[in-house]
Structure 1
Amino acid sequence: MARRGSIRASAPLAGWRTVDLLTVAFLGAAFGIAYWGWGLAYEAPANAISAGFPPLSGLFAGPWFIAGVVGGLVIRRPGAALACEVIAALVSMLPGTQWGATTLVSGIVQGVGTELAFALLGYTAFGLVAAIAAGALAGPLEAGYEATNWIKDWALGWKFAYAGILTVSGAVVAGAGGWLLTKALARAGALGAFPAGQEERESRAV
C-alpha cells in the first residue's frame, strides 16, 4: 500500500540531530551563494518587465524564498525553515549586495513566513500543498517589510498588488519549485537520512 501523508521527523520534533544541524547549514550556505548570484542577474529583467507597472518586479522575488521552503521540507523540525532562510540571507550578504544589512532582515521576515506555514500544519504535512503554502506566506510578509522602506512611497494599490504578486511568485517558484528540488535530491540519494529520502524509497518499493 502506498503511504498516505508525510513522514514526520523523529521524535521529539525539537530534538535536532547533528545531521540536521549540518544539513541546514549546508543548504543555507548553498542557497546563499545562489541568492547572491540571483541578486546580480535579476535586476535587468525585473526593471524591464516592471517599467510600466513597478509591482511586477515581484515576479522575480520568488527565488529568494526557496531556502526556507526546502529547509522545512528536508529537516521537518521547528525552526528549520527559518534557520535555512536566515543562513542563506547572511551568506548572500557577506560578499556585498545593493541592499546591505537589510538583506538579513528580509531573510528573517521571509523565513518567518515559510516557518509559519509548516507550524500551522503542525509540522505534519510536507507535500506539494504545504510547500506552496510556505512559499506563498513569505510573500505578504516581505511585501509588508518592504512597504516600510523600499516601496514606502508607492500608492496603496501598488503595495497591495505587489504583495499579491510576491505571494504568487513565492507559491510557484519557491513553493512548487522547492518541492520539486527536494524530490530531485531525494531521488538522487542525497536525503537518505531524512523523511524525504524514506518517502522516496517507499515510493520505489510500491
Structure 2
Amino acid sequence: MGNQWKLKEIVLMSILGVVFGIIYLAFFLIGQGIRNILAPFGLAPFGYEIIFGIWFIVSIIAAYIIRKPGAAFTAEVIAGITEVLLGTAAGPGLILSAAVQGAGAELAFALTRWKDYRLRVLVLSGMTAAVISFAWHLFYAGNIALAPGVIVATFAVRVFSGALLAGVLGKWISDQLAKTGVLRGYALGKELQKQREQGAA
C-alpha cells in the first residue's frame, strides 16, 4: 500500500476532523454534567476521564479507514482547530493538546510501520493516546497537584476509556460506515470487499 495521499483521502480526513470537532465540543458539556454529578461524592476529577476516549476517536477512525502515515495525527489536529474556531472555552491551547493526543494515537500505528490495523492495534492506539495525553495534562492542566492516589486512578480510567471508546468504538463506527458502501474507494472499504469476494469464492 503506497503512502502517497489521494485528494479524496485528504478530503475525507478533513471532513472527519470537522465533524468530530463538533462532536468533541458537545462532549465537553457531557463531561461537565458527569463531573457535576460526581462532585458531591468527591469524584469530580473522574468526570471527564470516564469519557476521555471520545477525544481520540477521530484519530482511530481516520487511520483505520485511510491507512496512511499521519492520518491519525492530522485528523485530531483538524478536530482541535475546529473546536477553537467554534469558540471552545479551552481556547487556542486546545490545538496543542489535540496535537499531543494525535501524536499519541499515531504512535501505535508507527510501531507497526502503518501495516497493521487489526482491533488490537486500534485499541493500543487509544491507549497510547491516553498515556501521552495524560502525561501532558499532568502539567499543562495542573493535574499534578492532585493526590497521588487520584492521579493513578484517573490514569487507569483514561487508559481504559481510550481503549474502549476510541479503539473499540472507533472500529465499530468505521465498520458500519464501510458496510454501507460509502468507503469502497478507501483502504478499509477495499479490504472488506476483498473479504466478501474471498468468502463467496
Matched-pair identity in %: 30
TM, length-normalised to structure 1: 0.89
Give the aligned length: 195
- The gaps in structure 1 that reach 5 residues or longer are 1-9
Q: Does 1:195 align with 2:184?
A: no
Task: Tell me the C-alpha RMSD between the 2 structures.
Answer: 1.5
**How many angstroms does 1:55 deviate by?**
4.1
For residues 8-60 of structure 1, the C-alpha deviation after alignment (integer angstroms, 9 at most, x for no partner) is xx32x2x1111121111111111111111212232111332354234423112
Moved over 4 A (4+): none
Q: What is the one-letter code of the residue matched to 1:155?
A: A
Among 34, 42, 46, the alignment partner of 1:52 is 42
Q: What is the one-letter code of the residue matched to 2:76?
A: E
Q: What is the one-letter code of the residue matched to 1:62?
A: G
Partner of 1:141: 132
- For residues 104 and 191 of structure 2, the distance between their equivalents in structure 1, rounded to whole angstroms, comes to 25
Q: What is the one-letter code of the residue matched to 1:19?
A: K
**Structure with greater helix share of residues:** 2
- For residues 45 and 157 of structure 1, the distance between their equivalents in structure 2, rounded to whole angstroms, comes to 20
Among 166, 170, 190, the alignment partner of 1:178 is 170
Contact 2:59/2:76 (<8 A) preserved: yes
Q: Does 1:69 align with 2:60?
A: yes
SS for the counterpart of 2:89 is coil
Partner of 1:3: none
- For residues 68 and 77 of structure 1, the distance between their equivalents in structure 2, rounded to whole angstroms, comes to 12
Q: What is the one-letter code of the residue matched to 1:172?
A: L
- For residues 149 and 127 of structure 1, the distance between their equivalents in structure 2, rounded to whole angstroms, comes to 33
- For residues 78 and 11 of structure 2, the distance between their equivalents in structure 1, rounded to whole angstroms, comes to 12
Higher relative contact order (CA 8 A, sep 6+): 1
Q: What is the one-letter code of the residue matched to 1:34?
A: I
